[in-house]
Structure 1
Amino acid sequence: MENKVYFETIKCEDYEIFNLEYHNKRVANTIAKNFDLGEYIYPLSNKLLRCKVIYNEDEIIDINYFEYKKRQIKSFKIVNNDNISYSKKYLNREILDNIDKQGCDEVMIFKQGYLTDTTISNIAVLVDNIWFTPKKPLLQGTTRQRYLDSGFLKQLDITFDILKKASKIALLNAMIDFDIIEDYSLSL
């Protein structure tokens, strides 16, 4: 049987590795073994880098560094897909990469009537001055978990009606942290 291959995206800047503890926890949860990713990551410059660690149950397969440029995301397509599953950070992202954005910058994926994630990040919505994140995201993101642990984020089953009431949304991932988007459009 072929081993599953996974990856972690880790932010590095000024030779610093960000939130390593949370990435180590996710790797341990993914393969039920402890890896100290800090033993393998050596940022190559002081620039903002996206470190991509590729691994399987047995070993670190490869580590790559890419200079990071943030995408501007202002328009979202709502996608309903009850069959989508991405519970571990698999290297094969075909299921996410093949979602048709229909001219929008990104999609918001709903599953069984509830918001889950976008293709590149977890999501949070500001409703009545409280930041909520989906109870059942597609992927348990490291940044999402940090904000839940701090008490800043609360979990909620977010319906489309709740999404429409949001005064702001935020995208969350290892590279952009908690990126608030105030001016955005939704299309069905």
Structure 2
Amino acid sequence: MSNPALYNFCFETICVENRQIRNQSYHQARINRTQQALWGGIKTIDLGQITIPDHITKERHKLRISYDQHIQQITWQLHHPRPIGQVKKVYAQGIDYRYKYEDRRGLEALFALREQADEIIIVQDGLLTDSFYGNLVLGDGTTWHTPANCLLPGTQRAYLIDQGVITPQIIREEQIQSYPLLRIINALNDWEHAPTIPLQSVV
């Protein structure tokens, strides 16, 4: 859940594996863009200067950085993948999450509508956008599309687009049944680790 004390900040969630920051350049670029847009071009955060504590092992860890003009909080947590069975479509209006805001109350309200499902697909203006925890990728096992109008362009999404693995595409709600498979990606769930979910699991 969001921490009200941090609502004026943004945050970055980063995968650290083998005591190395994964996709560092993509995270650095997003932090730079965010500081440029929200805080007048101040760029004070250099991920290359982050010291990895001695207790962090080679296993996959989540590094979470809360920041504004400067780093406000850093936390470390061993990553535990979330099992995803059923996914529920929910409908949003006017959600703006172009930057990774600490204030996620709008998204949390949508997530609360999932009932017995494990994740959500957010539909806004008739278009697929994102899930609660990451970006959507839909495909047939060979060709993969990601919604072009996602709420938040993720770092793993950007990396996979650059690698030619996925392609941005406008996907309308009624087109979802033309895709047999769904994947949900984020910094901790890269292409190798992201679950593949049959579309019949979407309700």
**Where do residues 99-110 of structure 1 align in structure 2 (5 Å cutoff)?**
99=110, 100-110=113-123
Q: Which residue of structure 1 lines up, in the alignment, with residue 16 of structure 2?
A: 12
CA distance in structure 2 between the partners assigned to 1:180 and 1:47 by the alignment: 19
> Matched residue of 1:143: which SS?
helix
Amino acid at match of 2:133: I
In structure 2, do the counterparts of structure 1 residues 118 and 157 end up closer, same or farther at CA, with 3 Å as the change threshold? Answer: same
CA RMSD of aligned residues (A): 1.8
Q: Provide the secondary structure at the position in 1 that maps to 2:94.
A: coil
Deviation at 1:103, TM superposition (A): 1.2
| Residue pair 2:8, 2:103 contacting (<8 A) in 1 also | no
Question: Does 2:87 correspond to 1:87?
Answer: no
Give percent identity, aligned residues only: 28
- Once the two structures are superposed, residues 93-145 of structure 1 have per-residue CA deviations (whole angstroms, 9 ceiling, x without a partner) of 11112222111101100111110000100011005832100111000100000
Return the TM-score normalized by structure 2: 0.85
Once residues 3 and 52 of structure 1 are traced to their aligned partners in structure 2, the CA distance between those partners, rounded to angstroms, is 15
Deviation at 1:3, TM superposition (A): 8.7
Match for residue 42 of structure 1? Answer: 52
Q: Give the distance between the partners of 1:145 and 1:154, measured in 2 at CA.
A: 10
Relative to structure 2, which stretch is displaced further, 37-46 or 58-67? 37-46
The alpha-carbon distance between structure 1 residues 164 and 92, as it changes in their structure 2 partners (threshold 3 A), is same
Q: Secondary structure at the match of 2:115?
A: coil
Q: Which runs of 5+ in 2 are unaligned?
A: 1-5, 37-41
- Specify which structure has the higher proportion of strand: 1
Which is further off, 23-32 or 91-100? Answer: 91-100
Query: Partners in 1 of 2:140 and 2:149 — Cα distance?
Result: 18
Letter in 2 for 1:115: L
Which is further off, 60-69 or 77-86? 77-86
- Higher helix proportion, which one? 2
Name the SS of the counterpart of 1:117 in structure 2: coil
Which stretch shows the higher mean deviation, 117-126 or 154-163? Answer: 154-163
Distance 1:72 1:9 in 2: 19
Q: Which residue of 2 aligns with 1:143?
A: 156
Aligned residue pairs, count: 185
Match of 1:153 in 2: 166
1:122-169 deviations in Å (ceiling 9; x for gaps): 011005832100111000100000011112211111112321111211
Equivalence for 1:164 = 177
Distance 1:41 1:86, change over 3 A: farther
Query: Structure 1 unaligned runs (5+)?
Result: none
Pair 1:64-2:64 in alignment: no
CA distance in 1, matches of 2:77, 2:141: 38
Whether the aligned pair in 1 keeps the contact of 2:91 and 2:122 (CA below 8 Å) is yes
